Amino acid sequence: EDQVTQSPEALRLQEGESSSLNCSYTVSGLRGLFWYRQDPGKGPEFLFTLYSAGEEKEKERLKATLTKKESFLHITAPKPEDSATYLCAVQGGSEKLVFGKGTKLTVNP
Amino acid sequence: DGGITQSPKYLFRKEGQNVTLSCEQNLNHDAMYWYRQDPGQGLRLIYYSQIVNDFQKGDIAEGYSVSREKKESFPLTVTSAQKNPTAFYLCASSEDRGRNTQYFGPGTRLTVL
């Protein structure tokens, strides 16, 4: 059974304090790993798709990386507007997306 | 603007009532999905459809029903058989069900009174 575990559950940072969120996964035949951002009361907003180990993608202050067992979402010099819950999901051979429970990030000014 | 719309944003249901949640997309995507989100849990798949007039049960389909009469629309009915329907419901779509990113709508929050 495909599984996704995100850590930490919650993270508080000061503005400008860089850090990383972790997404550990087990999947049969990885088709893709997805990162989303979700603001309270809203639908998830797509950030990145990674397809194979070693792949990296960047967008503004965010950088996602992928190994065979985990993915990291690196946040460089975060701002208060980066505060949100970040969701990780994997798609394996069943084609179904399996989501983690998310990491709630708070960036204080 | 291309995207996914869901309505209503908030929905209140009395015990024993059926309610229907709307999901429309103008992205020309073939596949559409319904998820349920509860506090402290990951998104769980209710139903999905890869093509018009065809749909499949997800992990938690009991107490729900769907239809896919048009490519753009995938309504979800929460029936009185659903024991704990209070949740945040999310609709998504993708080009197909293969190696494609799913894009989400804004969600509907359903509360049972």
Tell me the pLDDT of chain A averaged across its residues.
Answer: 96
The Cα of B99 is separated from the nearest Cα of chain A by a number of Å equal to 6
Q: Which of A25, A47, A57, A95 to substitute to test the interface with B, most B CBs within 10 Å?
A: A95
Residue type, position B89, single letter = Y
Q: Does B83 touch chain A (CB under 8 A)?
A: no
Residue type, position B100, single letter = N
- Judged by CB atoms closer than 8 Å, whether chains meet at A31 and B99 is answered as yes
The Cα B83–Cα B33 span in angstroms is 21
Give me the total of CB pairs closer than 8 Å, taking one residue from chain A and one from chain B: 50
Choose between A93 and B69: higher pLDDT.
B69
Tell me, what DSSP letter sits at residue B59?
T
Q: A33: nearest CA in chain B?
A: B101
The Cα of A35 is separated from the nearest Cα of chain B by a number of Å equal to 10
Residue A102: is it exposed, middle or buried by C-beta count within 10 angstroms (0-12/13-18/19+)?
A: buried
On whether the CB atoms of residues A89 and A4 are closer than 8 A, the answer is: yes
Chain B residues with CB under 8 Å of A42 CB are 106-107
Q: Which of B97, B104, B109 to substitute to test the interface with A, most A CBs within 10 Å?
A: B104
The Cα B76–Cα B56 span in angstroms is 13
Q: What is the pLDDT of residues A29-54, one digit of tens each?
A: 899 999 999 999 999 999 999 999 99
DSSP reduced 3-state for B73: strand
Q: What is the pLDDT of residues B59-85, one digit of tens each?
A: 999 999 999 999 999 999 999 888 899
Residue B95: is it exposed, middle or buried by C-beta count within 10 angstroms (0-12/13-18/19+)?
A: middle
The residue ranges of chain B whose pLDDT is under 50 are none
Q: What is the pLDDT of residue B16?
A: 87
The Cα of A46 is separated from the nearest Cα of chain B by a number of Å equal to 7
